[in-house]
Every structure is written in structure tokens, then in C-alpha cells.
């Protein structure tokens, strides 16, 4: 599996958990949880796509993690414009970006044995 595909799958899975954190940080939003989870999943897939593309161009874990955190925080911030819950949305989004960035940079699948050497 190529790095962008791996990163998008991981971002999508982690996005579900990102959305479910709304039940803890803002329990009054429970009636909206389906939309929140769908939006967070989409956000995770976008973060994964961007991190995966960066991972295809560099081998630096620092760059991959940095891009993941910045893109995750930026997309989460865009969700909060005009609404409450800034940190309740930005922090989990940043953590998703951090995990996706780190895992994608460490992932070695999809390479031939000669490319790993």
C-alpha cells in the first residue's frame, strides 16, 4: 500500500475518534454527533492525503509530523470559525495530524526491498 493511501485510511479512522471526542468535551452536542463524526472523518482523510503526498517527497519524520500537526490544526480551526469550542476542536485535530504524520513517515509498506536498502 502506498503512503498516501495508508495516511488517508489512518486519517479517516482517527477522524472517527476525533469526532467522538465531542461527546466528552461538549456533551450538549450529542444530537449533532453524526454530522460531527462525518466531518471529522473527512478532515482526517484530507490531512492524510496531504501528509501522504509530503511523505512521498521527503523522508524527514520532523517534516511529516510538522505538516500533520499544522494541517490538522488549520482544518480544525476552519471548522471553529464563528462558533464556540475552539480548543475542543483544534486540539484533537492536531493530535490526529501528529499521529498520521508520525505513522506515515515510519510506514514502509509499498516499497520494494531494493528501495528500502
Give 85 or 103, the one with higher predicted confidence.
103
Q: Would you place residue 113 in the very low, low, confident or very high pLDDT band (cuts 50, 70, 90)?
A: low
Residue 114 has pLDDT above 60, yes or no: no
Q: Please say whether the beta carbons of 44 and 75 come within 8 A.
A: no
pLDDT score at 109: 79
What beta strand segments (E) does the chain contain? none
- Using one digit for the tens of pLDDT, what is the confidence trace for 40-99? 999 999 999 999 999 999 999 999 999 999 999 999 999 999 888 899 999 999 999 999
Amino acid at each position: 500500500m502506498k503512503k498516501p493511501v495508508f495516511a488517508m485510511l489512518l486519517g479517516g479512522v482517527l477522524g472517527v475518534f476525533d469526532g467522538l471526542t465531542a461527546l466528552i468535551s461538549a456533551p450538549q452536542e450529542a444530537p449533532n454527533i453524526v454530522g460531527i463524526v462525518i466531518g471529522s472523518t473527512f478532515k482526517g482523510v484530507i490531512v492524510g492525503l496531504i501528509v501522504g503526498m509530503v511523505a512521498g517527497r521527503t523522508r524527514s519524520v520532523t517534516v511529516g509530523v510538522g505538516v500533520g500537526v499544522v494541517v490538522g490544526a488549520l482544518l480544525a480551526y476552519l471548522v471553529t470559525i464563528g462558533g464556540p469550542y475552539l480548543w475542543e476542536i483544534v486540539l484533537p485535530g492536531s493530535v490526529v495530524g501528529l499521529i498520521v504524520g508520525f505513522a506515515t513517515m515510519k510506514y514502509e509498506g509499498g516499497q520494494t526491498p531494493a528501495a528500502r536498502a
